[in-house]
Amino acid sequence: MNRETAPLLRVEGLSKHFPVRGGFFRRVTGWLKAVDDVSFQIAHGQTFGLVGESGCGKSTLGRAILRLHEPTAGRVILDGTEITALPRRALTAARRRMQIIFQDPYASLSPRRTVLQTLLEPMEVHRIGTPRTRREKVLELLHIVGMGPEVLHRYPHEFSGGQRQRIGIARALTLDPRFIVADEAVSALDVSVQSQVLNLIARLQRELGISFLFISHDLAVVQHISHQVGVMYLGRLVEIAPAEDLYRDPLHPYTRALLSAIPVPDPKRRRKRIVLQGDVPSPLAPPSGCPFRTRCPEAMPLCAERAPRLTQRHDGRAPHRVACHLY
Partner 1 sequence: MSSALLSIRDLVVEFSTERGRVRAIDGVSFDLAPGETLGLVGESGCGKTVTALAVLGLIPSPPGRILSGSIRLEGRELTRLGEREYRHVRGKLISMIFQEPMTALNPVLTIATQMTDVLVRHQGMSRRRARDRAVEMLALVGIPSPEKRIDDYPHQMSGGMRQRVMIAMALSCNPKLLLADEPTTALDVTTQAQVLEEMVRLQERFGTAVILVTHDLGVVAETCRRAVVMYAGRVVEEAPVECLFEQPRHPYTEGLLASIPRIREEKLPELPTIPGSVPDLLHLPPGCRFADRCPRADELCRRREPKLELRCDIAVACHHPNRYAGCRE
Partner 2 sequence: MNRSRERTSLWAKAWYKLRRDRIGMISLGVVLLYFVVALGVWLGLWGQGWSQVEGPMWAPPGPKYWLGTNIIGQDIFERALYSTRTAFDVGLVVAVLSTLLGGLMGGLAGYFSNRWADELILWLMGVLDAIPFYLFVAALAYALQGNPYAMHIAMIATFWTTTARLVRGEVIKLKQFEFVEAARAIGLPRRLILFRHILPNTFHILLVQATIVFVGAIKSEVILSFLGLGVTDGVSWGLMIAESTQEVQAGHFSNFVTASSFLFVLVMAFNLFADALQDALDPRKVSA
Ligand X SMILES: Nc1ncnc2c1ncn2[C@@H]1O[C@H](COP(=O)(O)OP(=O)(O)OP(=O)(O)O)[C@@H](O)[C@H]1O
d(CA 169, CA 198): 11
Binding residues with partner 1: total (CB under 8 A): 45
Q: Within 116-145, which residues bind partner 2 (CB under 8 A)? A: 121-122, 125-126
Contacted by 283, from ligand X, partner 1, partner 2, none: CB < 5 to 8 Å by type: ligand X
Q: State the nearest-atom distance from the C-beta of 211 to partner 2, in Å.
A: 16
Binding residues with Mg ion: total (CB under 5 A): 1
Q: Report if residue 206 touches partner 2, rule: CB under 8 A.
A: no
Q: Report if residue 283 touches ligand X, rule: CB under 6 A.
A: yes
> Cβ closer to partner 1: 136 or 190?
190
d(CA 54, CA 45): 27
Q: State the nearest-atom distance from the C-beta of 57 to ligand X, in Å.
A: 4
Q: Report if residue 132 touches partner 1, rule: CB under 8 A.
A: no
Q: State the nearest-atom distance from the C-beta of 121 to partner 2, in Å.
A: 7
Q: Report if residue 34 touches ligand X, rule: CB under 6 A.
A: yes
Backbone angles phi, psi at 257, to 5 degrees: -60, -40
Backbone angles phi, psi at 239, to 5 degrees: -155, 135
HSE-up of residue 27 (Cα within 13 Å, Cβ side): 3
Out of 60, 205, 211, 228, name the contact with ligand X by CB under 6 A: 60
Q: Report if residue 71 touches ligand X, rule: CB under 6 A.
A: no
Q: Within 261-300, which residues bind partner 1 (CB under 8 A)? A: 261-268, 270, 273, 275-276, 278-280
Show contacts of 156-160: CB within 8 Å, 24+ apart. Answer: 156/106, 156/109, 156/110, 156/111, 156/113, 156/115, 156/118, 157/111, 160/193
d(CA 214, CA 35): 17
d(CA 153, CA 164): 14
Q: State the nearest-atom distance from the C-beta of 127 to partner 1, in Å.
A: 36
In the complex, the residues that contact ligand X under the rule CB under 6 A are 18, 32, 34, 52, 54-60, 217, 283
In the complex, the residues that contact partner 1 under the rule CB under 8 A are 53-54, 160-163, 190-196, 198-199, 202, 217-221, 223-224, 243-244, 247, 257-268, 270, 273, 275-276, 278-280
In the complex, the residues that contact partner 2 under the rule CB under 8 A are 63, 66, 68, 91-93, 95-96, 98-100, 102-104, 107-113, 121-122, 125-126, 153-155, 157-160, 168, 171, 175
